[in-house]
């Protein structure tokens, strides 16, 4: 649905409100301004009573509510606990739907079943005290296919008239403008939070950046910009972001309470070959762990110290043990198994066992394939440009 389609399907008054709402989103610079627009313009336009945004886990199963309009602050905790019982967000992620609505993409009965399970498992809450849970109709927007943010608009009883397909299509047009406003506001707040760190690292010789859970840069120093040009607020290159998420994901859940430094081979960049180290700046207990809104990561690019350093790190990433890495590198250097055994003070049978394990972990089947694999692993690329265009 284009803006022309919206104009043809909305009364003139509502169409002008729709255009004004987009403009207001772009004029929001603080959370207060954003909440005011949600309350005074978004909710009346859709005849809804409640709206809130939440930071979500990649599978949509967990979320952490940010700000909320239309409900008392005291109800926020209960609403937060009820979110995982709504099956709609997980379905949206599976189907890559940016906007979905109760009554259209999921039946009232399914929503009601989730609410019944919530109150059964949370006997400290009484349904009559929170009648909107399970009995309202929600329209949800998410930034799929890799969600980190969602916005929920609710029609609460007795004003819970069904959502229409037209309203879903209108929200699909609004979603990028609204999410851009939310993201920009929080990036501004995050940058202010790390201002002292940014000032200290601005002229440091080591390429350094701070990224959030969505893999967007909050800050990068001059050395980082020269090695990997990424503007503030821009996502890391897709291959790098995916790899970093994968490594972070290995930490949990449950996530360790103490900071853990990650290190892996980054590959060839315009300024040479680097490894990347990553340290969490914050520890969050919201249940979203590494991908919570509170999660920020300090990343550094470090050049490889020697000709085999990059290869060793790549092999370690593949699961090879320290001894298996030694054997692999000696094979690359055309050393026969008998001589390898002598150099490493192990039997020839042990060398063969190591080779068997190396082949299995690297997916190769011969010495020639192993040498070819090692030659390629010494100079991987693909991280050189931003937003997935490497």
**Which residues 6+ apart lie within 8 Å of 303 measured at CB?**
272, 273, 274, 275
Which among 301, 313, 304 has a CA at the least distance from the CA of 377? 313
* Cα distance between residue 215 and residue 388, in whole Å: 12
Q: Edge-to-edge strands of the sheet including 137-142?
A: 63-69, 50-56, 149-155, 137-142, 99-101
CA dihedral 199, 203, 208, 212 (to 10 degrees): 30
Asked whether residue 384 is assigned to any structural domain, the reply reads no
Q: State which of 171, 189, 207 marks the end of a domain.
A: 189
Residues 72 and 125 in one domain: yes
Strand stretches in 118-269, DSSP E: 137-142, 149-155, 208-212, 217-220, 262-269
Tell me if 122 sits within 8 A of 114, measured CB to CB.
no
- Quick one: 347 and 234 in the same domain? no
Residue 69 lies in a domain: yes
User: Among candidates 77, 88, 141, 129, which has minimal Cα distance to 111?
Assistant: 88
Domain limit, last residue, from 189, 214, 229: 189
**List of residues 6+ apart from 374 with CB closer than 8 A:** 311, 328, 329, 331, 332
- pTM attached to this predicted model: 0.63
137 and 20 in a common domain: yes
Domain span at residue 350 reads 309-377
* Nearest alpha carbon to residue 56 among 299, 289, 387: 289
Residues 130 and 216 in one domain: no
88 and 164 housed in the same domain: yes
Last residue of a domain, one of 303, 323, 358: 303
How many domains are there within the chain? 3
Taking only the tens of pLDDT, the chain with its 390 residues reads: 544 444 445 566 667 777 888 999 989 999 999 999 999 999 998 999 999 998 887 777 778 888 999 988 888 888 889 988 988 888 888 888 899 998 888 888 888 899 999 999 999 998 888 887 877 788 999 888 777 789 999 998 888 888 998 889 889 889 999 998 988 888 788 778 778 878 888 888 888 998 887 788 888 888 888 888 788 778 888 888 888 888 777 766 555 555 567 777 665 565 566 778 888 776 544 445 545 555 788 888 877 655 566 677 678 778 888 889 889 988 888 898 889 988 888 998 999 999 999 999 999 999 899 888 887 765 444 443 334 433
**Rounded to whole angstroms, how far apart are CA atoms 384 and 268?**
8
3-state secondary structure of 255: coil
Task: Tell me the β-bridge partners of 304.
Answer: none
**122 and 182 Cβ atoms separated by less than 8 Å:** no
Sign of the CA dihedral with 159 first, then 160, 163, and 167 last: positive
Pairwise CA distance, residues 376 & 303, whole Å: 18
């Amino acid at each position: 649905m284009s803006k022309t389609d919206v104009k043809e399907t909305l009364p003139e008054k509502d169409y002008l409100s729709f255009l004004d709402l987009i403009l207001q989103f772009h004029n929001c610079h603080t959370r207060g301004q954003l909440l005011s627009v949600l309350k005074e313009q978004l909710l009346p336009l859709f005849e809804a009573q409640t709206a809130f945004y939440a930071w979500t886990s990649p599978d949509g199963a967990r979320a952490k509510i940010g700000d909320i309009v239309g409900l008392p602050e005291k109800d926020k905790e209960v609403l937060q606990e009820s979110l995982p019982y709504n099956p709609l967000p997980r379905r949206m992620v599976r189907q890559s739907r940016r906007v979905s609505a109760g009554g259209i993409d999921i039946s009232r009965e399914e929503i009601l079943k989730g609410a019944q399970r919530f109150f059964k498992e949370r006997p400290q809450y009484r349904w009559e005290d929170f009648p909107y849970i399970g009995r309202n109709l929600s329209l949800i927007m998410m930034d799929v296919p890799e969600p980190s943010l969602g916005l929920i608009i609710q029609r609460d009883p007795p004003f819970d008239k069904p959502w229409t397909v037209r309203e879903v299509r209108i929200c699909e047009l609004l979603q990028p403008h609204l999410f851009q406003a939310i993201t920009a506001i929080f990036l501004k707040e995050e940058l202010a939070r790390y201002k002292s760190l940014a000032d200290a690292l601005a002229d440091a010789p080591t390429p350094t950046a701070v990224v959030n859970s969505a893999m967007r840069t909050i800050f990068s120093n001059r050395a980082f910009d020269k090695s990997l040009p990424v503007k503030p607020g821009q996502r890391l290159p897709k291959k790098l972001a995916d790899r970093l998420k994968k490594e972070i994901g290995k930490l949990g859940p449950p996530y360790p309470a103490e900071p853990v430094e990650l290190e892996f081979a980054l590959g060839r960049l315009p300024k040479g070959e680097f490894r990347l180290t990553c340290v969490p700046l914050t520890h969050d207990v919201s249940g979203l762990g590494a991908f919570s809104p509170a999660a920020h990561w300090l990343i550094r690019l470090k050049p490889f110290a020697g000709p085999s350093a990059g290869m060793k790190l790549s092999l370690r990433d593949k699961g090879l043990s320290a001894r298996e890495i030694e054997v692999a590198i000696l094979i690359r250097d055309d050393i026969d198994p008998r001589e390898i055994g002598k150099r490493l003070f192990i039997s020839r049978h042990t060398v063969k066992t190591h080779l068997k394990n190396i082949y299995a972990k690297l997916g190769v089947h011969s010495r020639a394939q192993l040498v070819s694999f090692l030659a390629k692993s010494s100079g991987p690329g693909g991280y050189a440009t931003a937003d997935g265009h490497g």
